[in-house]
Amino acid sequence: MLVTTTERIPGKEYDILGEVFGVTTQSRNMFSDFGAGIKSMVGGEVKGYTKMLMTSREEAIARLKRNAEELGADAVVMMRFDSGSIANDMQSVVAYGTAVKFK
């Protein structure tokens, strides 16, 4: 499944099937929160959170692809990410875009 952030795919004509998305919500663990608290005092990357966000993005894309496949799509164009915090200890990531079928 081709996923692109561009509106057009060079050399391809397609019909639009509709919007697709993939969402995941991850919880931070006690050890990551402790490490983040220390990092906020001394500065630097909070690797536990970085790993959590990377995993969340990968899972959101995988779910986006499954949603597009269910519609019979060949690709997803204009893919974007959005994210947000929930209750100060969870992070939600959504990947969304437009499913298309090649002519």
Residue ranges and CATH numbers for the domains of the chain are 2-102 (3.30.110.70)
**Most confident segment among 19-28, 39-48, 57-66:** 57-66
Structure confidence at residue 60 (pLDDT): 97
**Distance set, CA 81 to CA 10, 11, 27, 35, 44 (Å):** 23, 26, 18, 26, 24
Backbone phi, psi, residue 87, to 5°: 55, 30
d(C-alpha 4, C-alpha 86), whole Å: 28
- What pLDDT, in 10s, does the model give residues 42-52? 667 777 788 88
Strand 2-3 with 90-102, pairing: unpaired
Token pair 């969304």 in the structure block, residue: 96
Averaged pLDDT score across all residues of the chain: 87
CB atoms within 10 A of CB 88: 7
